[in-house]
Amino acid sequence: MLPEKIRRIDENRLEIPLDYKEGMRVKGIIYVDKILEQELEIESIEQVANVATLPGIVNASLAMPDIHTGYGFSIGGVAAFDLKEGIVSPGGVGYDINCGVRLLRSNLKKHDIAEKIKDLVSILYNEIPSGVGSKGKVRLGPEDEKKILTKGAKWAVEQGFGDPDDLERIESGGCIEGADPSIISNKAYERGRAQQGTLGSGNHFLEVQYVEEIYDEKAANIIGLYKDQVTVMIHTGSRGFGHQVCTDFLEVMEKASKKYNIFLPDKELACAPFNSSEARDYLSAMKAAANYAWANRQCIMHWTREAFMKLFNMTPRELGMSLIYDVAHNIAKIEEHEVEGKKIKLIVHRKGATRAFPPGHPELPDIYKNIGQPVLIPGDMGRASYVLLGTEKAMKNTFGSTCHGAGRLLSRHQAIKKARGRKIWREMEEQGIIVRSAGRETLAEEMSEAYKDISSVVEVVHHAGISTKVAKLKPLGVIKG
Catalytic residue among 235, 243, 302, 404: 404
Which one-letter amino acid corresponds to residue 330? N
Contacts of 162 (CB under 8 A, 6+ apart): 153, 156, 298, 301, 302
- Going by C-alpha positions, the residue among 234, 178, 243 that lies closest to residue 205 is 234
Sign of CA dihedral 17, 350, 251, 259: negative
- 29 in Cβ contact with 14 (< 8 Å): yes
Q: How far apart are CA 145 and CA 192, in angstroms?
A: 8
Query: Read out DSSP for 208-248?
Result: EEEEEEES-HHHHHHHT--TTBEEEEEEE--HHHHHHHHHH
CA distances from 413 to 409, 416, 444 (A): 12, 5, 9
DSSP string, 445-468: HTSGGGB--HHHHHHHHHHHTSEE
DSSP designation for 82: E
Catalytic residue at 404?
A: yes
In angstroms, the CA 132 to CA 417 distance is 20
What radius of gyration do the chain's Cα atoms show?
A: 21
- Strand ranges inside 159-313, DSSP E: 205-214, 230-236, 272-273
- Rounded to whole angstroms, what are the CA distances from 371 to 102, 214, 374? 18, 15, 9
Decide if 446 contacts 403 (C-beta within 8 A): no
- For residues 22 and 367, give the distance between their C-alpha atoms in angstroms, rounded to a whole number: 47
For residues 460 and 463, give the distance between their C-alpha atoms in angstroms, rounded to a whole number.
5
d(CA 72, CA 250): 11
Q: Are 402 and 469 in contact (CB under 8 A)?
A: no
Bridge-based pairing state of the strands 374-377 and 385-390? antiparallel
**Residues that are catalytic:** 404
